[in-house]
């Protein structure tokens, strides 16, 4: 980056920091409380909720990982963003009324209220491990991988640029997080604006480079037409099931996105579990009234429809430029960084700001959720039940620092092997190990009064072990083809020289969910017809205002048009 780039970047940094300090000073007059620190005490508006949801969701996982999969498989990877829009509708209409009516502040609290202490404790431990060991580490690693090429390789005080990038991103995120959810929520509005403006600028330039590579001059619209004309294989949402003689590339694409099958299985589990049963996401709306929460969530869903333009399309541009010899992309996760290096002075600073905004907002959201769960569901419950509100807030801040320090240590030399797995796949796959069991436990707990605590415990444990089995052992024990699934060769061999087969993880997640739900139903049928801890639900909870119906209809119409165009 050049001087103008650093000026643009530090303008972003100063703007966000100053706004965060101003928000913090305004609320500092209030007495410290957990509802204010963790939930912003209902002070977030619908647009702040929606912006915060997107800022917390869009991170290096998308900019680096999804752009990498855009390079690899094309527009089909946008299904994660577009199906999320429908998932957010379901969460806004059906999940939020249950949470808000029962005054749910954390997901472990939901499990304790609906089931029992044991279920809540198991999931508390799981969520803390997941957020720290999978989410924080992957965001840091992928973020540093994207930003380092912009600032250049080098070292200072014995640390290289990768390590300095990790440290500085972490400090910025902690700085925002210790101000509490209100500071996070309102600074996220700026973060989203920077993210969208910088992301769109990057996409625009990438398209002009494609146009230029095909002899059309610096014309973004022509670049888009050249992509459609010359790389049609990257513009199909549904991959056919590989048959005899299929290439390994076609098989690998199907393993990642198994055609129409994933829309009857794992894609819904991934999205509904992430958006509806996830402390890190739902926390933004849990402090608001129902209509504000609904409007904010639906606003986030509308924004999700445009996210592939920012986080996926540059990857397809990188594929086209690589095919023309303009770029040399060594791995899919380096596709976005290769595009960034082509930006003009000033735009590089804007792109770096957009990336940093996405990364820091996501880190701050994760840290706040980690702090919330630890403070309210571990420390207050098991260590100091009579702790004052002020002391709980300080414990929350201390755990933010400890969590970030652990994530930095694990990311320092990629101890967890995130780079080898591929960033986007790493997160989706290992989060998916527990998604089927967790989602079954939540959805049945909300809407079937007979679901028992024993069924919930069995469901979450069984779901995890079934995931491990289907992902690692099923093809060895049962073979590559059964009535449940079709497995495909990965192109690798085991120690004995035999071909290794794999079941698409978005397929085995669906199988896992069905088995887990059936077992939970069987166990619950042995108990009382109505569980004493079941939630009271009535039709009035799900009534929608006309403006909400309009929002939902608009989202469905746009999504339908996209799938018709790119089926």
Is 105 within a domain?
Answer: yes
Task: Give Cα 374 distance to the centre of its chain.
Answer: 21
Other C-beta atoms closer than 10 Å to the C-beta of 414 total 15
3 state DSSP class of 312: coil
Give the pLDDT confidence score for residue 422 in this predicted structure.
55
Q: Are residues 312 and 348 in the same domain?
A: yes
Q: How far apart are CA 435 and CA 511, in angstroms?
A: 12
Q: Are residues 396 and 300 in the same domain?
A: yes
Element at 210 (helix H, strand E): helix 181-213
DSSP string, 133-190: IIIIHHHHHHHHHHHHHHH-S-EETTEEHHHHHHHHHHHHHHHHHTT-HHHHHHHHHH
Q: Which residues, in sequence order, are CB contacts of 259 under 8 Å at separation 6+?
A: 238, 239, 240, 241
Element at 304 (helix H, strand E): helix 290-311
Cβ–Cβ under 8 Å, residues 395 and 387: yes
Residue-range definition of the domain harbouring residue 392: 3-205+277-422
Q: Are residues 309 and 164 in the same domain?
A: yes
Q: What are phi and psi of 488, to 5 degrees?
A: -135, 150
Give the pLDDT confidence score for residue 143 in this predicted structure.
81
Count of positions (residues) in the chain: 567
Q: Helix-strand-coil percent breakdown of the chain, rounded to 5?
A: 75, 5, 25
Q: What is the CA radius of gyration of the chain?
A: 23
Q: How far apart are CA 294 and CA 182, in angstroms?
A: 18
Q: Which residues pair with 501 in a beta bridge?
A: 489
Q: Are residues 382 and 475 in the same domain?
A: no
Tokens of 385: 């039940």
3-state SS, 250-283, equals HHHHHHHCCHHHHHHCHHHHHHHHHHHCCHHHHC
pLDDT values of the chain reduced to their tens digit, one per residue, 567 residues: 788 888 888 888 788 778 777 777 766 555 455 555 555 455 578 888 888 788 777 776 777 778 888 988 889 989 989 999 999 999 999 988 888 888 787 788 888 888 988 888 888 888 888 888 888 888 888 888 778 877 777 777 778 888 888 888 888 888 777 766 666 666 767 777 777 888 888 899 899 999 999 888 888 899 999 999 999 989 999 998 888 888 888 898 898 888 888 888 788 888 898 888 877 666 667 667 888 889 989 999 998 998 899 889 999 999 999 988 888 888 787 888 888 888 888 888 888 887 777 788 778 878 888 888 888 888 888 888 888 878 888 888 899 899 999 999 888 877 766 665 555 666 666 777 788 988 999 999 988 989 999 999 999 899 989 999 998 899 989 999 999 899 999 888 877 888 889 999 889 999 999 999 999 999 999 988 888 888 888 888 889 999 999 999 999 999 999 999 988
Q: Are residues 375 and 461 in the same domain?
A: no
Is 177 within a domain?
Answer: yes
Is 368 within a domain?
Answer: yes
Cβ–Cβ under 8 Å, residues 309 and 62: no
Q: Are residues 372 and 442 in the same domain?
A: no
Q: How far apart are CA 188 and CA 195, in angstroms?
A: 10
DSSP string, 3-42: HHHHHHHHHHHHHHHHHHHHHHHHHTTSPP-HHHHHHGGG
Tokens of 151: 């600032």
Q: Are residues 298 and 387 in the same domain?
A: yes
Q: How far is CA 263 from CA 37, 75, 227, 467, in A?
A: 38, 16, 26, 18
Tokens of 275: 């958006």
Q: How far apart are CA 52 and CA 468, in angstroms?
A: 33
Q: Are residues 384 and 444 in the same domain?
A: no
Is 316 within a domain?
Answer: yes
Is 76 within a domain?
Answer: yes
Q: How far is CA 557 from CA 79, 301, 305, in A?
A: 16, 13, 11
Q: How far apart are CA 153 and CA 164, in angstroms?
A: 11
Q: How far apart are CA 208 and CA 201, in angstroms?
A: 11
Q: Are residues 458 and 516 in the same domain?
A: yes
Is 501 within a domain?
Answer: yes
The last residue of a domain, from among 422, 457, 472: 422
Q: How far apart are CA 372 and CA 9, in angstroms?
A: 31
Whether the model clears a pTM of 0.85, i.e. scores above it, the answer is no
Is 378 within a domain?
Answer: yes
Give the pLDDT confidence score for residue 58 in this predicted structure.
76
Q: How far apart are CA 325 and CA 330, in angstroms?
A: 12
Q: Are residues 438 and 343 in the same domain?
A: no
Q: How far apart are CA 370 and CA 541, in angstroms?
A: 30
The last residue of a domain, from among 404, 422, 440: 422
Give the pLDDT confidence score for residue 33 in this predicted structure.
53
Is 221 within a domain?
Answer: no
Nearest to 468 by CA among 423, 518, 429: 429
- The tally of CA atoms less than 13 A away on the side-chain side of residue 156 is 9
Q: How far apart are CA 209 and CA 373, in angstroms?
A: 46
Q: How far apart are CA 323 and CA 501, in angstroms?
A: 30
The count of structural domains within the chain is 2
Report the CATH number at residue 66: 1.20.1730.10
Q: Which residues pair with 160 in a beta bridge?
A: 155
Give the pLDDT confidence score for residue 224 in this predicted structure.
93
Q: What are phi and psi of 142, to 5 degrees?
A: -65, -35
Tokens of 361: 């907002």
Q: Are residues 462 and 389 in the same domain?
A: no
**Cα 202-204-206 angle, rounded to 5 deg:** 70
Q: Are residues 503 and 362 in the same domain?
A: no
Q: Which residues, in sequence order, are CB contacts of 13 under 8 Å at separation 6+?
A: 172, 353, 356
């Amino acid at each position: 980056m050049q001087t103008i780039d650093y000026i643009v970047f530090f303008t972003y940094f100063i703007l966000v920091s100053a706004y965060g300090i101003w928000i913090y000073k305004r609320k500092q007059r209030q007495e410290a409380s957990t509802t204010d620190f963790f939930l912003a005490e209902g002070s977030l508006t619908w647009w702040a909720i929606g912006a915060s949801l997107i800022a917390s969701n869009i991170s290096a996982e998308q900019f680096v990982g999804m752009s990498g999969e855009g390079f690899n498989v094309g527009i089909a990877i946008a299904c994660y963003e577009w199906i999320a829009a429908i998932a957010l509708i379901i969460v806004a209409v059906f999940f939020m009324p249950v949470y808000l009516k029962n005054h749910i502040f954390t997901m472990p609290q939901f499990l304790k209220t609906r089931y029992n202490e044991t279920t809540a404790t198991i999931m508390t431990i799981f969520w803390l491990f997941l957020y720290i060991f999978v989410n924080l580490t992957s965001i840091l690693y992928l973020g540093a991988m994207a930003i380092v090429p912009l600032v250049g390789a080098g070292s200072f005080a014995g640390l290289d640029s990768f390590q300095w990038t990790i440290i500085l991103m972490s400090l910025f995120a902690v700085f925002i997080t210790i101000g509490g959810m209100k500071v996070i929520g309102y600074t996220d509005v700026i973060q989203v604006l920077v993210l969208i403006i910088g992301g769109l600028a990057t996409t625009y330039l990438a398209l002009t480079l494609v146009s230029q590579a095909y002899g059309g001059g610096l014309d973004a619209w022509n670049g888009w037409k050249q992509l459609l004309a010359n790389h049609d294989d990257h513009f199909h949402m549904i991959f056919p099931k590989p048959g005899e003689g299929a290439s390994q590339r076609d098989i690998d694409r199907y393993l990642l996105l198994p055609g129409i099958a994933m829309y009857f299985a794992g894609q819904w589990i991934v999205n509904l579990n992430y958006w509806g049963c996830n402390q890190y996401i739902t926390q933004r709306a849990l402090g608001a009234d129902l209509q504000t929460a609904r409007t904010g969530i639906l606003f986030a869903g509308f924004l999700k429809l445009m996210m592939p333009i920012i986080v996926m399309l540059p990857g397809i541009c990188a594929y086209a430029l690589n095919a023309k010899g303009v770029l040399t992309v060594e791995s899919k996760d380096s596709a976005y960084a290769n595009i960034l290096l082509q930006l003009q002075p000033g735009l590089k600073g804007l792109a770096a700001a957009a990336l940093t905004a996405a990364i820091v907002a996501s880190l701050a959201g994760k840290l706040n959720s980690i702090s919330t769960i630890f403070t309210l569901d571990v420390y207050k419950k098991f260590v100091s039940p009579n702790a004052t509100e002020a002391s709980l807030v300080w414990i929350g801040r201390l755990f933010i620092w400890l969590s970030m320090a652990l994530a930095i240590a694990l990311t320092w030399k990629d101890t967890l092997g995130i780079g080898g797995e591929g960033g986007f796949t790493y997160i989706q796959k290992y989060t998916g190990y527990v998604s089927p069991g967790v989602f079954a436990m939540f959805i049945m707990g909300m809407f079937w009064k007979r679901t028992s605590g024993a069924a919930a415990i069995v469901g979450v444990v069984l779901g995890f072990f079934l995931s491990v089995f289907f992902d690692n052992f099923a093809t060895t024990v049962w073979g590559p083809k059964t009535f449940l699934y079709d497995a495909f060769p990965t192109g690798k061999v085991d120690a004995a020289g035999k071909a290794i087969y794999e079941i698409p993880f978005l397929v085995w997640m669906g199988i896992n969910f069905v088995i887990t739900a059936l077992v939970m139903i069987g166990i619950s049928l042995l108990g009382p017809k109505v569980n004493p801890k079941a939630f009271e639900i009535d039709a009035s909870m799900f009534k929608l205002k006309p403006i909400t119906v309009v929002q939902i209809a608009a989202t469905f119409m746009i999504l339908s048009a996209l799938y018709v165009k790119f089926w």
